[in-house]
Chains A and B, each alone.
Chain A
């Protein structure tokens, strides 16, 4: 939360108050009836009508106070799935914690926002006891591959009487990469992508040049642990990654640029190609092959290159790379045989993030 010391922050708080209110259908009727009772009371001077008017207004006042109490002292956490594919449903979990010491929060509705757009996907919490946590989930379908930024939550309540809906925005940012959907295919190469399969004779992870260092993953052997680096890092167990000697190599070439002539309809074709490539890459890595993806811009002939060793989260890294690959990007990097070298190209950046 920003400090509200500057005039700009103050103006912002005026423009976007922390709480907002709207009538529910019942609330509209209730307010109209209250107004009517008020008019009747003033007109007739009937004190009993004044009494009823007082009762109805006090319900409105209390409604505001109690809804505020329901929204206060809550903290939220969003849990995104580890893998999400475009076009498939994914389950997003929302966790609510009531930090109040004695008062439970009733009837809290949490609506997620992606890129500041309301998703119309809600989680309803009937009762969150004081000091307790509750988790609810909603399903949604990510329409496109790529990075998705969950920007906040809209936390609302109609408690206690359902007359008004009060809500506040909670800034809680999360991000995940939606992988392209996998299109199973057995056809030979397509026009914009080229897949070449190498021949493998054996796999030997214990030999070959050291390709890099990384943290030890679950289920891996400790034979490749670099104890010196592990001691330096304190918190992580570091292993050496080696190039597979004689491993099968699958090379995939992706052309994400198009000439002027090819440009009409290119984006759709590219997405379709990417789904097939994603499937092929997955198949290759799961079969234990070394994956080399070369991105070739059809427009200016520049390219980027990423090599992904099989095993561990290799499939995720490959899918992540493909998910972040934009169509028709302008490549500025040279043919990067060393994927650890930083480049400015979008594709190469995607490759780095994929790691």
Chain B
């Protein structure tokens, strides 16, 4: 391939990856993102003579200055974040550089800018898309840097030579850049293979760097995924397209997962609760929050009796950063164990707080979410989704809050009374309403959204709606019959990922249901939405499999890269230390107690340590490799020693020739050193004896395998150089 084309391609690849890394963090959205994308594409053809024109350069500079002013103005007066404005300007700068590629310098600036964007993107987002961009960088950055360096050298050396007239023939730089011989498959494959050691070294350094995390100054933004239903208001007139949104909200790892778990499982995860309905939307009347007591890593949510406490099941939940930062929990969760971040060597636990409706939130510092284990009493866990551990008694003001009703028609009240007539307890009334609503149709078409009273339209006209209509209708019907209720939003669903062995809960699993207060049992969960809402069968196919793999990768990326901290690091090192210590462990066992040897072997197997059957071949291979390396090194050493001997002998011969020639006894090439020295002795030349000594030593070194030492060589050279002839006759 032509040098210039390969170089251009590599720089564009790096620049595009830099911009994608920014975009993956949520930057460059909207018109500016479109403009940047279009600019990058258009700049591909911006080359040749017309970019050399002064007008083009001026226009380009003017546009860049204008962009700078616009971004500064947006940051100062437009309510645009400074970081966002800077990131967008960096993207525009990249477009500018790509559109003005005149020499190696511009290409190198583009590469440097892309690297800076990759760095900037670390504070914007931490998703799998960043991982892909990073991987792309690992592969393409060596290309761009290597070719950029070569191009700079070509331009710097050959053009400079041509200008200075140093070279005999002027070199056509353009011809070299068009050449197919400079960048052959070897260089491309070689620089591609560089990504392997780069990846390996990066991985090793990543693991080895101590995770201190001083936390003095951080630009990291809290930019969680906006999640429907978890905000301060739930409006019945619209639900967006979340039903089909595959974005994962959390991953749940239930306890006692069987070898082949079901593909679909309905995990109910409670998020927000609302007490006030104004006829169109749910809101909260009480927003006061109180912190949750923490003991170590555990947060107690409800006090439970002893046997209840003993039989708990832990659900490990990896929650993505949500907006608002709600902690999603299975109903009945009595305590939460949070996996802390390590900062400055110490674990840092987030502050959890809850409101009167038991909506739990955490103080989010960034968009990295939360990893925690929710403990649910086994009795509830067996029937997740219908019970609650919230047994708080309601005081009168709270009761009134949960009985609040908007203006309703007499028809509505009549229906409520008719449905609950004959049922004394709240549970019975709730069951009656649920049964009634099960005859309604689930639909995503908002048929009642535009009505003045959407719920009444839903109940008496359309008889169809989505989960929020069902839950709202139930909550209001029960309130009308005197039962305190609250509308709860969260998620219901779960698709098993066999690659990551977790259940994924997606945005599309967002759901709404009702909590009913019963004097005996406290708050109980009821879900009036017909079962038709849930998908009946798990999706299958190649795309689903790919999606599962990507999700598993995302989970691992999050767990092992983004979530890698000092604690994990220490565990890793301890594991490595145990791994390397297994030999000593065995020998100690043998030495102390003979029986221990067999125990140790079985212990090795049980703890996953490598057994000797595995380790011995590894060590043998390592020893063989080391031996081969040593032998090769020795061979090379012998070769270099031989060449050194020859070089030293030649240096001595040169010193000999110079010395005798200076005294008028030049040696013919056909005569050997020894023969010449003997002739000098025979002639009676003063230098003869020394020459003979040197010549004989030379012969011994050159042909007698008696290498000269550095001192010897120096001494002979000095003797020859400083030899003084006897004083000659004076001139006449």
| A residues adjacent to B (C-beta < 8 A) | 1-6, 8-9, 26, 29, 33, 37, 41-55, 57-59, 61-62, 66, 91, 104, 106-107, 109, 121-122, 124, 126-127, 136-139, 158-162, 233-236, 301-303, 331-335, 340-344, 349, 352-353, 355
Q: Is the CB of A352 within 8 A of B167?
A: no
Q: Which of A2, A124, A353 contacts B713 (CB 8 A)?
A: A2
Shortest distance in angstroms between B28's beta carbon and chain A's nearest beta carbon?
18
Q: Is the CB of B166 within 8 A of A54?
A: no
Chain A residues with Cβ below 8 Å from B161 are 124
Shortest distance in angstroms between A216's beta carbon and chain B's nearest beta carbon?
13
Q: Is the CB of A333 within 8 A of B728?
A: yes
Q: Is the CB of A51 within 8 A of B134?
A: yes
Chain A: which residue is nearest B161 at the CB level? A124
Apart from A51-B561, A335-B731: 7 A-B pairs, beta carbons within 8 A = A47-B563, A49-B119, A124-B157, A235-B669, A332-B731, A335-B732, A342-B665
Known: A45-B341, A160-B146. A126 touches B153 (CB 8 A): yes
Known: A2-B710, A3-B710, A37-B119. A61 touches B201 (CB 8 A): yes
Chain B residues with Cβ below 8 Å from A43 are 213-218
Q: Is the CB of B205 within 8 A of A126?
A: no
CA A303 – CA B731 in complex, angstroms? 7
Q: Which of A9, A91, A137 contacts B710 (CB 8 A)?
A: A9
| B residues adjacent to A (C-beta < 8 A) | 108, 112, 115-116, 118-119, 121-123, 126, 130, 134, 137-138, 141-142, 145-146, 148-150, 152-154, 157-158, 161, 165-168, 176, 181-182, 186-187, 191, 194, 197-198, 201-206, 209, 211-220, 341-343, 561-565, 644, 647-648, 661-666, 668-670, 685, 707-711, 713, 725, 727-732
Chain B residues with Cβ below 8 Å from A48 are 121-122, 126, 130, 134, 561-562
Chain B: which residue is nearest A234 at the CB level? B670
Known: A6-B710, A343-B728. A47 touches B561 (CB 8 A): yes
Q: Is the CB of B137 within 8 A of A342?
A: no
Q: Is the CB of A236 within 8 A of B182?
A: no
Q: Which of B121, B182, B187, B211 contacts A45 (CB 8 A)?
A: B211
Shortest distance in angstroms between A191's beta carbon and chain B's nearest beta carbon?
22
Shortest distance in angstroms between A294's beta carbon and chain B's nearest beta carbon?
12
Q: Is the CB of A136 within 8 A of B138?
A: no
Shortest distance in angstroms between B195's beta carbon and chain A's nearest beta carbon?
10
Shortest distance in angstroms between B141's beta carbon and chain A's nearest beta carbon?
7
Q: Is the CB of B668 within 8 A of A236?
A: yes
CA A104 – CA B183 in complex, angstroms? 11
Q: Is the CB of B122 within 8 A of A46?
A: yes
Chain B residues with Cβ below 8 Å from A301 are 731
Q: Which of B152, B218, B663 contacts A162 (CB 8 A)?
A: B152
12 contacts between A and B (CB under 8 A): A4-B710, A6-B709, A33-B116, A33-B119, A107-B153, A126-B150, A159-B149, A161-B142, A233-B668, A333-B731, A344-B728, A352-B664
Q: Is the CB of B205 within 8 A of A54?
A: yes
> Counting chain A CB atoms within 10 Å of each CB, which of B130, B148, B167 scores highest?
B167
Chain B residues with Cβ below 8 Å from A344 are 725, 727-728
Shortest distance in angstroms between B164's beta carbon and chain A's nearest beta carbon?
9
Shortest distance in angstroms between B149's beta carbon and chain A's nearest beta carbon?
4
> Counting chain B CB atoms within 10 Å of each CB, which of A9, A160, A301, A355 scores highest?
A160
Q: Is the CB of B145 within 8 A of A47?
A: no
Known: A52-B118, A52-B119, A107-B150. A45 touches B731 (CB 8 A): no
Q: Is the CB of A332 within 8 A of B728?
A: yes
Q: Is the CB of A104 within 8 A of B122?
A: no
Q: Is the CB of A162 within 8 A of B149?
A: yes
Q: Which of A49, A55, A121 contacts B198 (CB 8 A)?
A: A55
Chain B residues with Cβ below 8 Å from A9 are 710
Q: Which of B116, B119, B197, B204 contacts A62 (CB 8 A)?
A: B197
Chain A: which residue is nearest B126 at the CB level? A48
Q: Is the CB of B149 within 8 A of A107?
A: yes
Chain B residues with Cβ below 8 Å from A233 are 668, 670
Chain A: which residue is nearest B711 at the CB level? A6
Q: Is the CB of B710 within 8 A of A161?
A: no
Chain B residues with Cβ below 8 Å from A47 are 126, 206, 211, 561-565
Shortest distance in angstroms between B210's beta carbon and chain A's nearest beta carbon?
8
Q: Is the CB of B664 within 8 A of A340?
A: yes
Shortest distance in angstroms between B133's beta carbon and chain A's nearest beta carbon?
10
